[in-house]
């Protein structure tokens, strides 16, 4: 037997011998039942939460997004080290975070190495809180998934907030609204990597 499997059996044995009398698993529903009733426009509340986390939030019809990025970052190359643009899966109104997953990132490291990150998110992809987000996502279906709320930050020197600690120094969220052509043809973005709601 390897050292690790000896350790494994010893730990599991010690844990079983030590476990206090069984406590039942409480229902998460107990909290969902007393959640605050959301008030106001979700897009406005998401925008406020994301700004509070340090992100810049822009809004654009879907077909105008490339022009918006070009005019917002006129002299920025699309090299990984400068600007990285990616698609968000969903946004959380409660905290302004966006779920990103491996399949929608060309190279994960670029998300952290870039000086500025732009995330594109459909306004239809907003959910109220983290409970709703996890109910919709299938987090185990990809090797990497992440909630990102604002640009990288630290307060490790005298509690002074410094944005751009190690990852991006800026995060811009572009909230996409349907284009006129979308409503005409009824087309939508590619299907999100979420599991069907039962």
Partner 1 sequence: MTNDVIDHATAASQFIADEPRTDWHDAALWWVREKRDRAASELPEWEALRELASGVKEHTLTHLADYLERFETEATRHDIVVHWARDADEHNRTVHAILAAAGATRLVKSKSMLTEECHLNPYLIARGISVIDTDLGERIVQLRGEAPSHIVLPAIHLRKEDVGDTFHEHLGTPAGLTDPDALTAVAREHLRGHFLSADAALTGANFLIAETGGVVVCTNEGNADLGMALAPVHIVSVGIEKVIPAVEHLPVFLQLLARSATGQPLTVYTSHMHGPRDGQRMHVVLVDNGRSAQLGRPDFWRSLKCIRCGACMNTCPIYRRSGGHSYGSTVPGPIGSVLTPGLDLEKYAALPFASTLCGSCTAVCPVKIDLDAQLYRWRQLITDSDVAVRGRAHSMGVAGAVLGRPWLFHAIGSIARLALRLMPRRLARATAGVWSRSRELPPPPAQSFHAWYRASRRELS
Residue 61's CB is within 10 A of a number of other CB atoms, namely: 14
Q: According to the 3-state scheme, what is the secondary structure of 26-59?
A: CCCHHHHCCCCCCCCCHHHHHHHHHHHCCCEEEE
Least distance to partner 1, CB of residue 169, Å: 9
Where does this chain touch partner 1 (CB under 8 A) — which range of 56-64, 68-76, 87-95, 189-197? 87-95
Least distance to partner 1, CB of residue 26, Å: 4
Which two tokens mark 23?
A: 């406590």
The answer to the question of residue 135 lying near partner 1 (CB under 8 A) is yes
Least distance to partner 1, CB of residue 16, Å: 5
- With a CB cutoff of 8 Å and minimum separation 6, the contacts of 42 are 93, 126, 128
Least distance to partner 1, CB of residue 6, Å: 9
- Of 55, 57, 85, nearest to 70 by C-alpha is 85
| Interface characters, 6-45, with partner 1 (x: CB under 8 A) | -xx-xxx-xxxxxxxxxxxxx-x-xx--xxx---------
Site for partner 1 in 148-167 (CB under 8 A): 148-160, 162, 164-167
């Amino acid at each position: 037997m390897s050292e690790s499997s000896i350790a494994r059996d010893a730990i599991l044995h010690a844990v079983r011998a030590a476990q206090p009398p069984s406590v039942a698993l409480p229902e998460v529903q107990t909290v969902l039942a007393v959640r605050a009733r959301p008030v106001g426009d979700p897009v406005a509340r998401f925008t406020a939460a994301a700004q509070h986390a340090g992100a810049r939030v822009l809004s654009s019809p879907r077909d105008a997004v490339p022009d918006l990025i070009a005019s917002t970052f006129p002299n920025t190359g699309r090299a990984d080290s400068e600007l990285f643009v990616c698609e968000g899966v969903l946004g959380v109104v409660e905290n302004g975070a966006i779920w990103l997953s491996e399949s929608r990132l060309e190279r994960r490291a670029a998300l952290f190495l870039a000086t500025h990150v732009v995330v594109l998110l459909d306004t239809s992809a907003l959910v109220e809180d983290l409970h709703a987000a996890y109910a919709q996502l299938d987090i185990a279906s990809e090797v990497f998934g992440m909630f990102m709320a604002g640009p990288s930050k630290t307060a490790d020197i005298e509690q002074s907030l410094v944005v751009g600690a190690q990852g991006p120094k800026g995060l811009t969220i572009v909230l996409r609204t349907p284009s006129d052509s979308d409503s005409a043809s009824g087309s939508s973005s590619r299907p999100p990597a979420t599991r069907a709601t039962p």
